[in-house]
Each structure stands twice: as C-alpha cells, then as structure tokens.
Amino acid sequence: MKQSQAISNTAAFFPNYFKKIGLGLVILAIALVISAKFIAFEIVEEQKDFYKIIFFNVLILGLFFVAWARDKFEDEMTMQIRMKAIGFTFMTSVFYIIFRPLVDLILKEPVAQMSAHELMMFMLFMYIIFYKLQKRSA
C-alpha cells in the first residue's frame, strides 16, 4: 500500500466537524449536571445512578469525538504525534490506576474501586492534552 493511501485510509477517524459535536456534548453533559443541582427537579435516590451513567456516557462520547476527529490536515507527522500521545496516555493511565488509591489513603477518604467511566474519562483527557501539547511543540 502506498503511504499516501495508508494515511488517507484513516477510516478510523471521524470527520473534522465531529470536534464541534464532541465539544457540544461535553458542554451539554456539564450543563445537565449543573442544572440538576441548581434547578429544582427532584431526582429519586434510585434514579441517581441512572442519571450518573447518562452524564458519564454523554461526557465520554463527547471527549471521544473530540479525541478521534480528524485534524483539518492529517499527514504522517500527525499520525506519529497520535501514536506518541496514545503511548503516553497508556503509561499515565497505568500509574493513575496504581497510585490513585494511595491518594485516597493520604487524603483519608474511603478507598473505592475506580469505575470504568472514571478511567475512560482520564484516558481521553490525557490523550487530548498530550496530542495538543505535542502538536504545539512540533
């Protein structure tokens, strides 16, 4: 396969406009939480977990769109930067999983098992941050 074909075959990435959609979803998720706290509508205790899942899913979907949307111009350098960002994300996630319970212990908070949502949010945030930083310094 020619390299130009390999790069153009980035079917795994969303179109560029998905960045705006993702950002919109993130803002929506945050707005939902804020409105639930301050606008008076009663959330039944049993439904709290359900709304929490909805919030996390919308937030994660938004971050995923932002992270996985193509740049306006993708070439071999952006692909290399993406790979590096994925590597850094994986490493920091491993450290996060290992050391986060220690932070809970130090802060004398109950040590709870990390949820998949929390880990996924952390990974997506880290990937976006690493990618943006590396692109700026390139």
Partner 1 sequence: MKNIIKVERAKQNMTQQDLAEKIGVSRQTINSIESQKYIPSTVLSLKIAKVFNIKVEELFELEEDDFL
To partner 1, the closest distance from the beta carbon of 83 in angstroms equals 13
To partner 1, the closest distance from the beta carbon of 77 in angstroms equals 4
Cα-to-chain-centroid distance, residue 88: 14
Decide if 53 contacts 59 (C-beta within 8 A). Answer: no
Our CB check for partner 1 shows the closer of 41 and 73 to be 73
Question: Helices in the chain by DSSP H: which ranges?
Answer: 3-8, 18-38, 45-68, 76-106, 116-137
Using CB under 8 A, list all residues that contact partner 1.
2-4, 73, 75-78, 80, 135, 137-138
To partner 1, the closest distance from the beta carbon of 76 in angstroms equals 6
Our CB check for partner 1 shows the closer of 113 and 137 to be 137
> What is d(CA 69, CA 21) in angstroms, rounded to the nearest whole number?
10
Our CB check for partner 1 shows the closer of 2 and 108 to be 2
The H or E element that residue 83 is part of is helix 76-106
